Amino acid sequence: MHDATFEELSMPLFDQLYNFAHWLTQDRSEAEDLVQETFAKALRGFSGFQAGTNFRAWIFRILRNTFLTSRTGLKIAGRSEEELDGLASVDPSPEAILIGKADRSMVRQALQELSVPFREILLLCEVEEMAYEEIAQVLAIPIGTVMSRLHRARRALRELLIQKFKGGSHGL
């Protein structure tokens, strides 16, 4: 049986990894550095990758860990779950229904304003369509934490969008 090569496994994920990296770093040049370092690390560690396990979760995790040790990543590292909770303590309002009307640029702006832990979990869940278990592997957290963080991230995003509809916005 033919074991897939690193090239066969990684290159189809290139665009997604770049997109995720750019969302994390918010900068093209930093994103390119991050992706390049991710590929270099993944290539070096590929012999240790267990065939048949989740390659996507594996390489996304490398990218995220690389980001966390980067200059930008270090700024957001160390935030506790409690701190994150404090960032999104607003209860859902009846205006939440307006979110359906939010345009793409408004959602994009809200995503950019979200804290990295909320932004990354939303991207992994909604953009990459990863299951909770896969997200847990990428972020190295329990599934219960995935669920609670995802819930808080959605609330935070919702509040940001509501505030944008109201005409005022601030970063979470």
Partner 1 sequence: MACELWSGKLDAYVDGELSLMEANELGTHLRGCSSCAAEALERVQTKRSVADAGRYFEPSSEFRKKIATKVHKSSKKSSIRGWQIVAVPAALVLIISLAMSFYVSRERTKRERVYGELADLHVATLASATPVDVISSDKHTVKPWFQGKIPFTFNLPELQSTDFELVGGRLAYMGQSPGAQLIYRLRKHELSVFIFQDRGPEMASWASDPTSMLSFTFETWAKNGLRYFVVGDVSGADVDALSKLLRDAG
Q: Cβ closer to partner 1: 29 or 80? A: 29
Do residues 28 and 22 touch, judged by C-beta distance below 8 A?
yes
Q: How far apart are CA 59 and CA 15, in angstroms?
A: 13
Interaction between residue 141 and partner 1 (CB under 8 A): no
Q: Cβ closer to partner 1: 75 or 151? A: 151
Q: Which stretch binds partner 1 (CB under 8 A): 63-71, 73-81, 145-153, 162-170?
A: 145-153
Q: Which of 57, 63, 150, 162 binds partner 1 (CB under 8 A)?
A: 150
Q: Cβ closer to partner 1: 86 or 92? A: 92
Torsion angle of C-alpha atoms 102, 151, 88, 136, degrees rounded to 10 = -110
Interaction between residue 4 and partner 1 (CB under 8 A): no
Q: Cβ closer to partner 1: 28 or 75? A: 28
Interaction between residue 89 and partner 1 (CB under 8 A): no
List the end-to-end C-alpha distance of the chain, in Å, as a whole number.
Answer: 50
| Least gap, CB of 157 to partner 1 (angstroms) | 7
Interaction between residue 131 and partner 1 (CB under 8 A): yes
Indicate the SS3 state at residue 119: helix
Q: Cβ closer to partner 1: 10 or 66? A: 10
Q: Which residues does 104 contact at the CB level (< 8 Å), separation at least 6?
A: none
Q: State which of positions 33-72 bind partner 1 (CB under 8 A).
A: 35-36, 39, 43, 46
| Least gap, CB of 78 to partner 1 (angstroms) | 25
Q: How far apart are CA 100 and CA 95, in angstroms?
A: 10
Interaction between residue 154 and partner 1 (CB under 8 A): yes
Give, to the nearest 10 degrees, the angle between helix 28-45 and helix 55-68.
130
Q: How far apart are CA 83 and CA 94, in angstroms?
A: 26
Q: What is the DSSP letter of 47?
A: G
